[in-house]
Structures are given as structure tokens and as C-alpha cells.
Amino acid sequence: MATTTPTRGASTPPPPGGPRTAYKERSAWRSRLWRFDDKASPYAYIAPFFLIFGAFGLYPLIYTGWIALHRVEMTSLDQSEWVGLDNFATILQDSEFWTAVSNTFLIGVISTVPQLMVALGLAHLLNYKLRASTFWRTIILTPYATSVATAALVFALVFRADGGLLNWVLEPFGGGDIDWGNGHWTSKIAISIIVIWRWTGYNALIYLAAMQAVPSDLYEAASIDGASRWQQFRKVTIPSLRPTILFTIVISTIGSMQLFGEPLLLQGGTLGSIGGSEHQYETLSIYLYNYGWKLQHLGLSAAVAWAMLVLLLLIALINWIVSRFVRKSAA
């Protein structure tokens, strides 16, 4: 029986579905999987943040806006009546609301400006090579780690009208009978001192971190040009910290809008919960607390919360305009 032998160089096509086809299919699948992983992985990494933000940030904000458009009482949460913008009209026509806005603004200015100036000076001192620098940085952050209730209660004893520590210190100078809690300006100053004591160290460490990021070449060039330490601070340090200073101003403004524990505990009891006998230190947070938890009008308290949000957005817009102007002038 005759057989045929394939000649040298003759090529026989591989059978369909052979090893090479399977390899190409696996390569294509791996390529598609890699492209999917490259595009989808970043979204998977940031998904937990958006889930948490949606559950604890966005949903409460939207739900508060919905409540602000209804008449809802604490005693009957399952019953609501659509009132539209009536809740906003009610608070805008209330003189106590504008008193709270004024108090919040004044306390914010009195506490923020000295706080940031002192924090800038402390950061400048800590930026030098000091012995036990870690110890001093820890000490300066201690007030921030103290709870607001503890700080407010201690300072309430300091500012007591009868037997308070501050009046005892001021007595030789003729100022031993100051009623800090009942005065219109003294109560705001007392609350501002508590805020300054708690937040100065926090802002000082933010400024310190920004100062350490300033290139040393700038200081060396200024020193060669004969600039003194004060001139270097004004001409090099301050311009380099301008974005950080604007950031701390925004954060401090937000904190002043949310001021609650300090005014609530300054005098405590009924006076603290209404912001003083004449509402002389009632902040927007105290005003919201009165509507929501004392008068139990959740719709009105939600409207106050949204009014606070609008005020914060307006302040942020003003800060943005100022920052743009500062950047253009610097350029």
C-alpha cells in the first residue's frame, strides 16, 4: 500500500480551535479585564467615601430641606403639612433671628481675628530650632484635645460675677465687679476667649506645617539682600502662607457659625439655653436649638439650618472673591 510523505517546506494549517487560538482568546480576555480594572478601580476606591457622604451628609441635607417646607412638630413626627416658604418667612420676620445673626457675626470676628494672629506668631516661634520642639507642639495642641464641655465649664467658673478668678485678678485695678455673662459685650468677649483658647494651637500647627514647606532658598536670598528677621517674615513668610491663611479664615468662619457649646454652658441652665437674659450672646445654633428642642417646631428649626447654610455659602463666596483679588494683586 503506497503512502505519501509530505515534502520539505510544505505547511499544513493548524486545526481550528488549537492552542494558538486559545492563547489569543485568553490574551483578549486579559486585555479587556485589565482595561476594565484600569477604568473601574479608581471609582471602587472612592466609592466608600461617596456612600458614607450620601448616607450621613447628602441625605440629611435633602431631608432637612424637605422638612423646612413643612409644618412638623416633635410630638407628631408622622404628621406634616406643606407650608412652602412660610417657615423661612417666619424666621426672617423674627427680630430674634437677626439678633442671633448679629451675635454670631460679632463673636466670630472677635474670636477669629486675634486667634489667627496669635496662631501665626506662635507658629513663627515654633518654626525656629527649639529644644524639645515636639514637647512644645504637643502642649500647644492640648486645648484643642480638650472637650468643649470641659473647657466651657472651667471658663464659666473663671468668668463668674461673684468669686470668679478673672474678677479676683482685676479687683486691684478696679474691675472686680464685672458681670461677664449678663453684659452685652462682656459675654461676647468671654465666649470669644474660650474659642481663642481652644483653637489657637490647632491653627498654629497648620501654619507651622505651611511654614516648613516654604523653600529655604527664599530666606537665604532675603538674608543676602540684608533683610532682617521681621522683614523676612513680612516679605517671605506671609506671602507664602496666603493660601493657608485664607483656608484657616474659611474654617474659622464655619466654626463660628456652628458655635453652640460655649454659649450654652457659659451660664448654663435656662439662661444658657436662650443665650442670656436678653439674648445678648444667642448664636444661630442656640436659636436653632430653641426652635427644635424647646419649642419642638422642627420645620422652623430646619429652615434656620438652611438659612445658616445660605449664610455660609455667601461668606465662602466673599472669601473666594477676596482670594482672587489677593492673587491678582500678588501676581
> Which pLDDT tens digits describe the chain residue by residue (331 residues)?
455 555 544 455 555 555 666 656 667 677 777 777 777 778 888 888 889 988 888 898 999 999 999 898 888 877 888 988 999 999 999 999 999 999 999 999 999 999 999 999 899 888 877 777 788 888 888 888 888 888 888 888 888 888 788 888 888 887 777 888 888 898 999 999 999 999 999 999 999 999 888 888 888 888 888 888 888 888 888 888 888 988 898 888 888 888 888 888 888 778 888 888 888 899 999 999 988 888 888 899 999 999 999 998 888 888 888 878 777 776 6
Contact 291, 304 (CB under 8 A): yes
Written as nine digits, the cell of 86 is 412660610
Residue 26 has a pLDDT of 67
Distance CA 262, CA 286 (A): 10
Residue 74 has a pLDDT of 80
Q: Which residues contact 249 (CB under 8 A, 6 or more apart)?
A: 112, 116, 319
Written as nine digits, the cell of 279 is 439674648
3-state secondary structure of 147: coil
Main-chain dihedrals φ then ψ at residue 293, nearest 5 degrees: -110, -20
Residue 117 has a pLDDT of 93
